[in-house]
Amino acid sequence: MSETQLHDAVREFAYFLGALTQRLDPSAGWYGVFARRDPEGLRACLQGRDVPPWDVMESLLYDLAELPGEHAVSTASARARRLHAQAVADHDARPGGRPALEARLEAMLHEERHTALRARELEAAVQAAGPTDADRPAQELAWARDDHARAGARVGELRARLEALAETADRRPKVKAKSRAKARPARPRGARFAGLEAAADDEAAEEYETAPDPVPTLRGARFAGVYDEEPTGDGRPTDHPAPAPAAAEARHAAATAVSRLAHLRATANGGLAHAELCAAANRPASELPLLIEELERAGLSSDVPTLLWEAACLPPAGLAAAADALAAAGRTSDGAQMLRQGVARPVEEVAQAALALLDRDRTGQALELLAALVRARTSEEAAMAAAVAPDTLEPLLLTAAGNVSPHRHRDIAHALRIAHL
């Protein structure tokens, strides 16, 4: 990409960001939060002097999805991914790009540690607070957890950008007149609301399918017979029964997906790596625990939170199926993390996900989801969830609120009375 094209990439992204924010209310939603907390940083991005972290973009896209009549949000999301990746490549390739990224990474690692400590302090404050004093620390705790999640996402993004710069520098002397394919800029990992468009991101799917360097699947001696009987020390097969065909097929699919992801990470192809995680989150829910196991086995544990973010943004039925699969596999902490992230969606969808969990006899997970809703939203917003199915969800919501604190239980009960539920 030429210098002119690079500068054009940042300019084009700034124009896209400006057009996006013009459709949003600067006093509401995540856009309002960013405008209040970092007006100068937001202004720098709108003027093309900086590029926002990807989690910020996804939050703005979430605001866009909340607007009535916004049927083209999946197209906007796909375009945002492409323009953001190109703008990041432009920004990082400028003189002084690497030192600036390293300084940002150091600051963000400090922020990640600070927000983790702050969240622990507020958790203790919430537990120690009396019934009339717990509301404020509970709200501060929700914000501290959000800040910590964003800091972790940005640490991953900055590391990916540094890796992409190193890969570009290593390859530059070897480039021959090798090459029919243009270098693809790495895209940042880790996002606050990743997956809004995963199910309909045709552009990302097309990009993956037409990539010039196809990623090999599991072939050759390294993976030969991986699902056959394991030989003993004397060469005779063991008596372990072969896995059921469906289980073996799911394990093989998970291993194949992780093999592709490992290849993409090794070649610093962050954009396609994120697309691979999006695709993985949309596979059958029964494969999700296997995908996490394979990621951990392959040394890619840092990609597990991103996978859970993607799964948290599945449609309500898909979210419930994923939570069911994680609970069945004994991965309760992963399931709890995913459900907490799932409350970023519209309240009505949270209610539908809770009903889907009840249909799967996962009352505990439904209560956990509604408790996360109570912690993250105002009492009035949380009460709106019960309107989807009052007879079923009102008592469940009150139970979840009681599990959070007696004070929140009273608030939710009052909000339900006001709403005539």
pLDDT per residue as tens digits for the range 274-283: 778 888 888 8
Tell the residue number behind the tokens 């400028």, with chain if given. 94
Q: What are phi and psi of 347, to 5 degrees?
A: -60, -40
Structure tokens at 153: 């996402």
Is it the case that residue 6 has pLDDT exceeding 80? no
* pLDDT the model gives residue 234: 42
Burial degree of 187 (CB within 10 A; 0-12, 13-18, 19+): buried
Query: Which residue ranges make up each domain of the chain?
Result: 3-169, 210-217+245-310, 314-421
Q: How confident is the model at residue 270 (pLDDT cuts 50, 70, 90)?
A: low
* pLDDT the model gives residue 245: 57
pLDDT per residue as tens digits for the range 185-204: 444 433 333 333 333 334 43
Tell the residue number behind the tokens 């992230």, with chain if given. 341
SS3 378: coil
Q: Looking at residues 235-244, what average pLDDT do you find?
A: 45
* pLDDT the model gives residue 309: 84
Question: For residues 265 and 175, which has the higher predicted lDDT (pLDDT)?
Answer: 265
Tell the residue number behind the tokens 């090794």, with chain if given. 266
Q: How confident is the model at residue 129 (pLDDT cuts 50, 70, 90)?
A: confident
Average pLDDT score over the chain = 77
